[in-house]
Amino acid sequence: MTTDSKSNDLRDVTAAVARCYSTWGERYYNDYYGPGASYPPIHCDLVASLLNRHGACRVIDAGCGPASMLRHLAVPSRELYGFDLTPEMIEEARRVLVPLGVPAGRLWVGSVLEPAAYVAPSEAFKPYDSAVCIGVLPHLPEDQDLTLIDNLYAAVRPGGLVIVEGRNELFSLFTLNRYSHEFFVEKLMSPEHLRQNAAGEERKLEQVLSNLKAMFRTDIPPVRKGYEDEPGYDEVLSRLHNPILLGKQFEARGFLKVKILFYHFHCLPPMFGSEVPDLFRRESLAMEANPEDWRGYFMASAFIIAAERP
């Protein structure tokens, strides 16, 4: 693929993601963080505790959305900054944060893939104590992951803390649904390689692959659609990440003290949650007490990488 083709593909992805979120400004917080959310926003307390322990006073949220995370981090001793790809999200972020004492000029439109976006338009650059990036990584093409990591590294001071959230690809081994089937086929197996080497067993192989698919509920979860005529979350690029491999990428780019912290635990595969709803919620929340629980690699749908710049 040529450089021009990659640039065009990135622009297409970026435009689709911005359009997906364009009608979501006011709804997003309520859907995922508010009282009506299907699961409490456990990660807000997790991020806040990391910042508090680190003594971070100057914090930027790269891809801040409608200030979903920033509004939970607003304390008098902390300077908050944020930018997002979608103008409608920044409008909502300003509506929420300005009454909390955050100047409107500290919230702006920008892309996490552009180094210049990490500088407030009205201010000279000064390194941050911490950079937070929540809900952004899934929407980046795979070849842009390192660009994001490098930009976050450059945005913080020596000793600064970077916090990045990802959707846990290994959770697919526990869900028993279409994500599981995709993980088996795309990450663990190589059907095309097997087909090329079947040597007379082609029909039997196809039956094996069909039987394997039948072992999973590939009809769930439903594909999330947009509210109006915009594409929904599952209709734009929305990748999963292997926490082990992502942690190694942070280490390879020079970060120290790389930690993997899990959240949004599921005590049972999610398809069974509605059958014992009280037990499912109670025991899942109990698991949140230890974000370093090794079971999080498989039973938590999301994780955070916390790492320090040397």
Q: Are residues 163 and 123 in the same domain?
A: yes
Q: How far is residue 51's CA from residue 75's CA, in Å, rounded to a whole number?
A: 12
Does any domain span residue 219? no
- Residue 102 CA, chain-centre distance (Å), reads 25
Give the model's confidence band at 107: pLDDT under 50 very low, under 70 low, under 90 confident, else very high: very high
Q: What is the mean pLDDT of the chain?
A: 95
pTM beyond 0.85: yes
Q: How far is residue 46's CA from residue 261's CA, in Å, rounded to a whole number?
A: 9
Q: Are 68 and 37 in contact (CB under 8 A)?
A: no
Q: Are residues 40 and 150 in the same domain?
A: yes
pLDDT in tens, 125-180: 999 999 999 999 999 999 999 999 999 999 999 999 999 999 999 999 999 999 99
Is a pLDDT exceeding 70 seen at residue 3? no
Percentage of the chain with pLDDT > 70? 97
Q: Are residues 62 and 113 in the same domain?
A: yes
Span 10-14, average pLDDT: 92
Q: How far is residue 153's CA from residue 39's CA, in Å, rounded to a whole number?
A: 31
Q: Are residues 290 and 166 in the same domain?
A: yes
Q: Are residues 297 and 189 in the same domain?
A: no
Q: Are residues 105 and 166 in the same domain?
A: yes
Does any domain span residue 94? yes
pLDDT in tens, 72-95: 999 999 999 999 999 999 999 999
Q: Are residues 189 and 231 in the same domain?
A: no
Domain enclosing residue 204, as ranges: 178-214
pLDDT in tens, 291-300: 999 999 999 9
Give the model's confidence band at 1: pLDDT under 50 very low, under 70 low, under 90 confident, else very high: low
Residue 4 has what pLDDT?
Answer: 58
Q: Are 107 and 82 in contact (CB under 8 A)?
A: yes
Q: Which of 37-41, 109-113, 190-194 has the lowest mean pLDDT?
A: 37-41
- Domain count of the fold of the chain: 2
pLDDT in tens, 248-275: 999 999 999 999 999 999 999 999 999 9
Q: How far is residue 87's CA from residue 81's CA, in Å, rounded to a whole number?
A: 15
Q: Are residues 98 and 238 in the same domain?
A: yes
- Residue 163 CA, chain-centre distance (Å), reads 11
Percentage of the chain with pLDDT > 90? 91
